[in-house]
Structure 1
Amino acid sequence: MYVIELALRMSPMPVSVQRKEHDSAEALYQQVRSALEQGQPRLLELSCEKVEGKRLSVLTSDLLAVQIYEKTAASGGTKRPGFSFEA
Structure 2
Amino acid sequence: MFTIELTLKHTPMPLSVQKKEPSEAQALFGSLTESLRNNNGHLIEITCDQQPHKRISVLGSEIAAVQIFEKSGTATASGRPPGFFSLSSDQ
SS of corresponding position for 1:10:
coil
TM-score, normalised by the number of residues in structure 1: 0.89
Q: What is the root-mean-square deviation in Å for CA atoms of aligned residues? A: 1.6
In structure 1, runs of 5+ residues without a counterpart are none
Matched residues, number: 84
User: 1:83: how far off?
Assistant: 4.7
Structure with the larger helix share: 1
CA separation in 2, counterparts of 1:40 and 1:29?
16
- SS of the equivalent of 1:49 reads coil
Higher RCO by CA contacts (8 Å cutoff, separation 6 or greater)? 1
Runs of 4+ in 1 over 2 A off after TM superposition: none
Q: Which runs of 5+ in 2 are unaligned?
A: 86-91
Counterpart of 2:38 in structure 1: which amino acid? Answer: Q
Higher gyration radius (CA): 2
Describe the SS at the equivalent of 1:82. coil
The Cα of 1:39 is off from its aligned counterpart by: 1.4
